[in-house]
A and B are shown apart, each in its own frame.
Chain A
Amino acid sequence: MEPAAGLRLDFNHKLTIKEFPYIIRWREDRCKRCGQCTAVCPQGAIRPAVKYMRVIESGGDTPKPRPVRRIIHVIEQVNDIEHYCTGCAICALVCPNNAIEPEYNPQNKFLFYKNRGGEGYKRGGRRNDPGVSTLDRLKFTRISMLTDPALDAGRHEFRVRSYIGRILPPEELPLKVENGRLVVDKSSGKFIPPVREIFPIMIGSMSIGALSPTMWEGLAMGVAYLNEVEGIPVVMCSGEGGFPPRLLKSRYVKYFILQIASGYFGWDSIIHTLPYMTEDPAAIEIKYGQGAKPGDGGLLMAPKVIKLIAEIRGVPQFVDLPSPPTHQTKYSIEESVMKMIQSMSMAFGFRVPVYPKISGTRTAKAVLNNLARNPYAAALCIDGEDGGTGAAYNVSLDKMGHPIASNIRECYLDLVKQGKQNELPLIAAGGIGKKGNLAANAAALIMLGASAVAVGKYIMQATADCLGDEYNRCNICNTGKCPRGITTQDPKLYRRLDPDKVAERLVEVFKAADVELRKIFAPMGRSTELPIGMSDGLSIDDKAMAERLEISYAC
C-alpha cells in the first residue's frame, strides 16, 4: 500500500544521534531559551523546536503536582549528517546558564556517512591522531651536573638563534691573511649567499585568505613587536595568498617570508611592488608540498574569496581557488630546484634566501641532494605528516605522509656524510607542539638536526584560543565558518577575534618558548650556539626508534 502523501513511514535512511561524533547535552531546567546557542552554532547542528509534551506542574493556593499537556520550547540536535555537531562547544561558551554542551561520542560512525554525493569528506585542522608522537617520546637525558657543571638559564648568556640561508663552508670562504688579520678577498668575485639570523621557532605558512583579517593582523603585529621591542627575531611565512601591497612596501616586510606556491596567488602584485619595496623580505619559500596533504594541492573555498582576498590574489570574488599539487611548469626535481630557485633569487637581486618546502616523504633525500649541489638553494623545509591545513581530504590528513622525526634525522645525517650539515639549514615542521610541548618538541628536532622549526597549529591554538583538537573536534577551518573567527572571511565571525589579544598572546608564547628553550639547553651545557645535531642529548624509550634515529635508548 502506498503511504499517504506527506507521511513518511520509511525511517531506515535516517541516522540516530548515536551515529554522530558529538551528542548535545541540553538541560531543560537550566535553559532560559535565550537562543544564543542556536544563533552562534556554525554548523546549524542545534535548533529551537517546539514539542507537545506531558509535563508536571503545580500552582495555585494549595499547590499540588498535576500532569498537563502543553507546547514547550526546546533545543534539539538535528540528525542531518550535513549539520553534524563538530563539538566546537561555542554553544557552551555563550550559554549564560551552562545549560548546553556537546559530549564526545566514542561509538560514532561518522566516517561511514560523510561521503554523500560521491565526494570524499574534507575538513580543515589537524590530523586525528591522539597518540603520543615520536617528538613527545623524546627525552633530554644528557644532563650536566658534576663533570660539566650545569649552566644557569637565568644567569648565563644564551644565544638562542639560528640561520636561514646557505652558509658557505669554511674551505670556500673568500678570505686572505693581511698583517695577521683575515680580510674578505673582494677580488675573488665569490658569491656570498644571503643569510638571516632568526629565532629557531618560526611561524609556518598560513595565508591571507585562509586566515581571517583579524587573525593575520594580530600575528603580524605580534611578530613586529617581538622583533622591535623584545629583540626576538621571529619570522613568519605568508603562505600562498599574496601580501597586502601596503605591507610589502613597509619596513615590516623584513620579518616575513613570502611564499610562492603552485597557484602563484598574489605574485603579480608582489612582482609589481618590487621596485617600490624599501626592505627585502626575510626569505622566499617555494611550496612544493604540505605535510597535511602530501602530493595534493591547496584549495581556498569560494566563500572565503571575498573582495579583499580577491584583490590581493588578483582573482574574481567567490570562486574556488585550487592550487595544483605541483608547479605546472616544472617536471623534475632538477628543473624545479634550478629554475625556480634561480629565478626567485634573481628577482630579489640575490639578496634574499630562497628555499623550497616539501612534505615529509621517503623521497626527501633526493630533493635534499639536489639542493645540496645548488649554490643558490638556501635551505630545505620539510613538513611532516602532523602538519595542519585549512582544507584537505580526510584521507590525506589521516593517512598520508611521513613523520617528521625520522625524516629530518635521515636528511641531517645525509648532510653530515657530505660535510654540508652547516651549509644547508633544515627547517622541520609538522606536529610541533601538538600536545602543547612547543619548546621541547622544537629542541628535540634541533638536536636531531634541524636548524629551525616552523609552527602553525600551535600558534593558532595558543594565540586565538582555537577550539580544535586531535579528536576531530571542530576542524571546520575549510568551511569558512570558524566559530572563533580564525579561519573565516565572514565579518560576523572574524569580528569575534580581537587582533590586539592575538598579538599579545603571540608575544607571550614566544617569550615563554625562549625561556623554555634556555631551560632545556642550560642543563645540557649549551648556550652560545644552538645544539644542532647534539644527538647525544636525546634518548627514547623504544629500541627500534632509538636505532632508527641513531640516538640512545633509555627506559
Chain B
Amino acid sequence: MCRLAAITSSKYFSPMENILALETMKEGHDGSGLGLTLKDLGGEFKDLKEYPILSGICSKKGRETLDAYMDEMGFKLLYRWRPKIKPVKGIVARDFYFASVYDYPEEWKDKPFEEKEQLLMNIRLTLRKMGEADESIFVFSFYPDVITLKEVGDPLEIAEFFGLDKDILKAKIIFAQGRQNTNYQIYLYACHPFFLQGYCTMTNGENTAFVPIREFLMSRGFPGYMGYNSDSEVFCHILHYCMRQLKFPLTYYKDIITPLKWEEIEQRPDREALSLLKMSLRSLCIDGPNMVIGFIPDGTCFMVQDAKKLRPGVVGGVPGKYALMSELCGLDKVIPERDESKDIYPMKYDMVIVSPGAKEVKVWNQLQA
C-alpha cells in the first residue's frame, strides 16, 4: 500500500516536509520509488509562473533529441533547474534530471490558455513516445507552475540523492507518494502522482475496475488519456474528464467514482441529474480499495474514499496549512501544533475539500449535498 503525503499551505515550504512525513509511515518493503508534484512554485520559479515547465529525466542521447525537438517546435529555454545529485547507494543515477522553463513559440503567445494547454500536452505526449522504446526520455509534466519529480528507490534516500534537503525548491502545494509496488515490474511512468492539464491525483489502493475504466477513457478520443502503466492513473483522468471535459463541479467526482444507491439519490436535490450520471458514467465507478488525494487547477485539494472505505486517510491542520495524509503519524510529523480533535477521517460518503491557499477545510457529504 502506497504512502501519501500532501501538504497545502499559504506559504512556500520544502518537499522535505512531505518526505519526512512519508518516513514516519514507512513499513515493509518500501523502496519502489518516490513521486513528487509541486504546484504554485516558489524560489527560483516564483517569477516564472506564466511559463510552462517541462519536468523529466533523459539519457545523454535523449537530451539531445529533446532539445532538438523543443527548438524545432519554437520553444525558447528560459531557465533550467537541475538537482544537485549526490550519489546514494542503491539508487542508479540517470544522466539528466531537469525542470526546464520555456517560453511559448511566437505564434502561440497570444492564443487562449485552453489551446496552449492542448499544445503542451501534445508536446509532452510526443516526447514520451519518442523516448519510450529505449527509455531515453521520461517526461512527467509540461505545464505552467508545476514540477514533477520521480525516481526509483527509498523516498528519504531519493531526497538525499536529489539534494532536496539543501536545494531551495519550494512550493505551496506539494504531493508526495512513497511507492510500494508489489504487483508489477517497477516502472517510472507508473509512479504517482499523475498529472494532466492542471489536475493531479495519487492513491494508496488498488483499482479492481481498472480495465473497464481504461477502456472507457481511451475511447473518449482525448489524446491525453493514455499511458496507464499503473491502475491508478485513471483516477487523475476521471477527475480531468469530470471537470475539464464535462465541466462538472468538483464534488461530482465523488458522485461518479462512488455513485449513491437509488434510494439515496432520491434524497438529493439534484436527483434528476444524478440519475443520469449514475447510468451514463457507470463504467467509471470504482470498487476500491482506494483513497484518492488530488488537486485541481485553482489549488483546491481534496481527499475521497471508495464506497467501502477500505483504505486509511486523514486530513488536519491549521488555517494556512493543511495536510492530507494516508496515515495519522504523517500528519503528526508535519503539523504537530494542530488541534487533533479537529482531524478529519473521511468516511465513505465524504469528500474533504481544502480551499485554495489552505484557508479552510470542509467536509462535503454525498448524502446531504
A230 at the interface (CB under 8 A from B): no
A182–B281 CB distance below 8 A: no
B279 at the interface (CB under 8 A from A): yes
Q: Which of B155-163, B203-211, B293-301 contacts A (4 or more CB under 8 A)?
A: B203-211
Q: How far is the CB of B142 from chain A (nearest CB, A)?
A: 26
B281–A525 CB distance below 8 A: no
When C-beta atoms are compared, the residue in chain B nearest to A192 turns out to be B276
Residues of A within 8 Å of B221, CB to CB, are 419
When C-beta atoms are compared, the residue in chain B nearest to A152 turns out to be B308
When C-beta atoms are compared, the residue in chain B nearest to A174 turns out to be B276
When C-beta atoms are compared, the residue in chain B nearest to A529 turns out to be B285
Residues of B within 8 Å of A418, CB to CB, are 219
State A169–B280 Cα separation when bound (angstroms).
6
When C-beta atoms are compared, the residue in chain A nearest to B1 turns out to be A147
Partner among A163, A182, A524 whose Cβ is within 8 Å of the Cβ of B249: A182
B307 at the interface (CB under 8 A from A): yes
- The 8 A CB mask of B246-281 against A (1 = contact, 0 = none) is 111101100000110110000001101110110111
B206–A148 CB distance below 8 A: yes
Q: Which of B291-341 contact A (CB under 8 A)?
A: 307-308, 310
A271 at the interface (CB under 8 A from B): no
Q: Which of A276-284, A396-404, A533-541 contacts B (4 or more CB under 8 A)?
A: A533-541
Partner among A170, A171, A417, A528 whose Cβ is within 8 Å of the Cβ of B307: A528
A422–B307 CB distance below 8 A: no
A515 at the interface (CB under 8 A from B): no
A219 at the interface (CB under 8 A from B): no
B216 at the interface (CB under 8 A from A): yes
Interface hub of B182, B209, B248, B252 (most chain A Cβ within 10 A): B209
Known A168-B280, A177-B248, A528-B258: A534·B289 in contact at CB below 8 Å: no
State A535–B215 Cα separation when bound (angstroms).
11
Residues of B within 8 Å of A184, CB to CB, are 272-273, 276
Q: How far is the CB of B190 from chain A (nearest CB, A)?
A: 14
Residues of A within 8 Å of B249, CB to CB, are 177, 180-182
Q: How far is the CB of A173 from chain B (nearest CB, A)?
A: 5
B185 at the interface (CB under 8 A from A): no
User: Could you tell me the dominant secondary structure of chain B's interface residues?
Assistant: loop
B279–A195 CB distance below 8 A: yes
B276–A168 CB distance below 8 A: yes
Q: Which of B129-148 contact A (CB under 8 A)?
A: none
A422–B209 CB distance below 8 A: no
Residues of A within 8 Å of B209, CB to CB, are 526, 529, 531, 534
Partner among A142, A183, A524 whose Cβ is within 8 Å of the Cβ of B270: A183
B289–A527 CB distance below 8 A: no
State A535–B208 Cα separation when bound (angstroms).
11
Q: How far is the CB of B202 from chain A (nearest CB, A)?
A: 17
B223 at the interface (CB under 8 A from A): no
State A22–B221 Cα separation when bound (angstroms).
60
State A142–B208 Cα separation when bound (angstroms).
9
- The 8 A CB mask of B223-263 against A (1 = contact, 0 = none) is 00000000000000000000001111101100000110110
A534–B252 CB distance below 8 A: no
State A535–B285 Cα separation when bound (angstroms).
16
B109 at the interface (CB under 8 A from A): no
When C-beta atoms are compared, the residue in chain A nearest to B281 turns out to be A170
B287 at the interface (CB under 8 A from A): yes
Q: How far is the CB of A525 from chain B (nearest CB, A)?
A: 3
A528–B212 CB distance below 8 A: no
- The 8 A CB mask of A396-438 against B (1 = contact, 0 = none) is 0000000000000000000011111110000000000000000
B211–A534 CB distance below 8 A: yes
Residues of B within 8 Å of A416, CB to CB, are 215, 219
Known A183-B272, A526-B287: A421·B208 in contact at CB below 8 Å: no
B288 at the interface (CB under 8 A from A): yes
Residues of B within 8 Å of A177, CB to CB, are 247-249
Q: How far is the CB of B369 from chain A (nearest CB, A)?
A: 8
B282 at the interface (CB under 8 A from A): yes
B261–A159 CB distance below 8 A: yes
Residues of B within 8 Å of A532, CB to CB, are 212, 283
When C-beta atoms are compared, the residue in chain A nearest to B307 turns out to be A528
Partner among A175, A527, A528 whose Cβ is within 8 Å of the Cβ of B276: A175
A149 at the interface (CB under 8 A from B): yes
Q: How far is the CB of B291 from chain A (nearest CB, A)?
A: 13
B220 at the interface (CB under 8 A from A): yes
B280–A527 CB distance below 8 A: no
Q: How far is the CB of A520 from chain B (nearest CB, A)?
A: 13
Residues of A within 8 Å of B288, CB to CB, are 148, 525
21 A-B pairs in the complex with CB atoms less than 8 angstroms apart: A148-B288, A170-B280, A173-B280, A177-B249, A181-B249, A181-B270, A181-B273, A182-B249, A182-B274, A182-B277, A183-B273, A419-B220, A422-B283, A525-B287, A526-B208, A526-B287, A527-B308, A528-B258, A528-B287, A529-B259, A536-B210
Question: Can you list the 8 inter-chain pairs with the closest CB atoms, starting with the nearest?
Answer: A525-B208, A148-B206, A419-B219, A182-B273, A529-B285, A533-B212, A181-B270, A536-B211
16 further contact pairs, Cβ within 8 A, besides A181-B270, A416-B219, A422-B283:
A147-B183, A148-B289, A163-B279, A170-B280, A181-B269, A192-B276, A197-B262, A419-B219, A421-B212, A421-B216, A422-B281, A526-B209, A528-B259, A531-B212, A533-B211, A535-B211
